Amino acid sequence: MFKSLTLSLLRSSHVTACRILIFETSTPHLPCVVSSQLILSFSVDSSVLTINYHCLTLKMIELTHHSTSQDGLPKYTGPHRPSKKLEPYLEYLFPVVDDAQSNIFFCYREGRGFLSELEKYLRGHVHPRNSDVTIVIENGANATKSLDKKFQSLGIDSKRTSGVYNCYQLIMESNEHASFAADLSESIKSPVPLHLRGIAKNRGSASCQLDAQIVHQLTNNQVSRNATIDKKPDFSFMPRYRGQISAAFGQKVVPTFIGEVAKSQTADSLLMAAKSWLCGSMLLVESVLAVNLWRETLSIVFYQFDCRVENLLRLLGQFHESQWEAQCLRLVIRYKCLRWLIYLQLLMFLIEHRDQDFGRLGNRELTAQIEERFRDANRVIANYNYLLQGLGDTHTYTLDPERGLQVSLNPLIGLQVDIRNDIRYYENVLRISSHTGDEEEIDLAQAVITVSDMVFQQSLFPAAVLGPVTFNWAGPERIQLQIPVSMMVGFTRQVVQLTANDLTILAQGVSWDIVELHDFSIQLPRIELGWIENPGSLARRKNTTLDELEQNLAHYLRGRIDLGDLTWDILGDTHNTLREINDRIAGQLETMNIGTKRYQLRIYRYLTGEIFRDAPDTRDALEWTVRLQYYFRIVFQRLQRAAEEEQRAENERAGSAERAERAATERRARYERRVARREGTHTRPNGN
């Protein structure tokens, strides 16, 4: 017995076929699970669609319009079409998908029943099983709060970004995506020492407001630069006191540790999200961990963007003090040190005065004693406030009895030594990075953008790669991911590690499409009959006898043999053959001018190296390499297309320049001929 029916018409100007999807709706929330498909007879009369299913006749009065992507744009569906102004940016908003049903486009229209239309469409939408769904709403940034409320009422509370290109973008995470992000978040917090866990607050996917001017500049946004940027990650951490002190200043909360997981997103989209966090938070985010579930390569790739003061000091050592990069680094280092000193000094002040009440005034009377308490607290940070204003920081760092200063001190008692050590550290760094006078003309926002790009470029090589994940796979023992505890608690030099075992457990929770080995064949310099597992079966497939196959082996195989036919006893040449294939492919990629996609080549080299280093025998190495090459095939095709498009654009630019130069030459020649004619007229002897 079915509970609901949804129609999916083939996209053509004349409807000639229809598919009924029968799905269960056991819960009111998306997504629906397709249980069967039936091809049914139907007829179309004007706008009425009649479908016969056993004794049931359905009449659909309205046929929902599905807009599809144009050539060169991502696949998507939905009831609306994007404006011409937004179309060039769709490739940055939608991931690359095989099925257009995984991307949905809307255009927000105020006061026209848009929210009801949105709900109706989503409740009737069916998308591929276990797939992320990306929803983009043009002009949705103008209604972020009402859209948040509507999606929450539908049971959809996933990560989203509002404001980029004036759009509202939401990713409805599949169960696998959400489960992986939750497991990763828990794996990161679990190794933190018990006495520090009470300080680290897991904010989940709580939203954060980023610097709109910087993010619009970063994304080259020409649609609308007035929209506020509000972003939700997969998960985030920060010291509990940081949010409480920010609230006391009347400021927005900025997490210190951000986790972004990509399943349907491209690697470029994931990395751009990481860069948006770095720049948009004014580098107040201490670290961004970006994880790509790279299904094409059966691998999980971890990128770690570290913008702690310690890492910025290491970067500073690579430049001469007069260089632009060094000046930007010194400015950002001072800015980060001053921000941390405000938090830590206030913590020490509150711990030393924990017998005093700094709660919000509320209905209480403002007494001289309360005023004096807050004046004492403001005096502690007054100099830092002054120095931040000198750097161009527009925030106000003033405590007010109306807002109060309520901080959970219990987890911090006993950690005064660690806090004082970090205060001394930041004070020393502040003196070391004192300005030389050249930085006064540098804008703080521009310095943040410059340093963010340096951190980004430094971190493009993966911190860890798991895979390719095959049957009975276990991660290499030496792989580990280091997580400084200060990214979650704000002080201490302790570091925790996610071990190979931790990462392997995470990888095993992802459902990988494992390809059978016998589906592929490889080129070998020579093939002997003894290398074939079952010669009789191979002879039958080649429509010949075993004797004929043995005598004319090269003719029948032409140097290629299916992997399922190989025996695993004598395969000495296989390693060398696969190495040659890998080197040849990598060499071809290195000749491509592929810009931001160059990091994919580095990952390919890394994975092939891991295969030959860790495979216990030839068969394992062969199996891993074949799968790796198969899944990288999609990547290679995309890289090849990118290279061809870039070359074509370069040729067009060169052709345009040549045509412009030719036209200019012709104009000069015409001008010179006119001048010559005029001069000839004035100088011609005519007797006058």
- In this prediction, residue 579 carries a pLDDT of 64
Going by C-alpha positions, the residue among 413, 407, 405, 399 that lies closest to residue 358 is: 405
CB proximity list for 499: less than 8 A, separation 6 or greater: 480
Mean pLDDT calculated for residue range 662-681 = 83
pTM: 0.74
DSSP string for 379-445: HHHHHHHHHHHHHT--------TTT------GGGTT-HHHHHHHHHHHHHHHHHT---SGGGGS-HH
For residues 336 and 312, is the Cβ–Cβ distance under 8 A? yes
H/E element, 608 = helix 598-614
- The 8-class DSSP code of residue 530 comes to G
If DSSP states are collapsed to H, E and C, what string results for 566-604?
ECCCCCHHHHHHHHHHHHHHHHHHHCCCCHHHHHHHHHH
Query: Tell me: the pLDDT tens digits for 54-109?
Result: 333 333 323 333 444 455 578 899 999 999 999 888 888 898 787 888 999 999 98
Query: Tell me: the pLDDT tens digits for 396-454?
Result: 899 999 999 989 999 999 999 999 999 999 999 999 887 666 556 788 999 999 999 99
DSSP string for 268-333: HHHHHHHHHHHHHTTT-S-EEEEEEEEGGGTEEEEEEEE-SHHHHHHHHTTS-TTSHHHHHHHHHH
Strongest mean pLDDT among 112-121, 345-354, 498-507, 654-663:
345-354
Query: Tell me: the pLDDT tens digits for 24-42?
Result: 322 333 333 333 333 333 3
If DSSP states are collapsed to H, E and C, what string results for 649-686?
HHHHHHHHHHHHHHHHHHHHHHHHHHHHHHHHHHHCCC
Query: What is the average pLDDT value for the chain, to the nearest integer?
Result: 78
Scan for tokens 């999200």, then name that residue: 273
- In this prediction, residue 10 carries a pLDDT of 29
Distance CA 237, CA 536 (A): 62
Reduced to 3 states (helix: H, G, I; strand: E, B; else coil), residue 122 is helix
pLDDT tier at 574, thresholds 50, 70, 90: low
Mean pLDDT calculated for residue range 232-256 = 92
pLDDT tier at 656, thresholds 50, 70, 90: confident
With 80 as the cut, is the pLDDT of residue 636 above it? no
Distance CA 482, CA 512 (A): 26
Going by C-alpha positions, the residue among 95, 141, 414 that lies closest to residue 262 is: 95
- In this prediction, residue 502 carries a pLDDT of 87
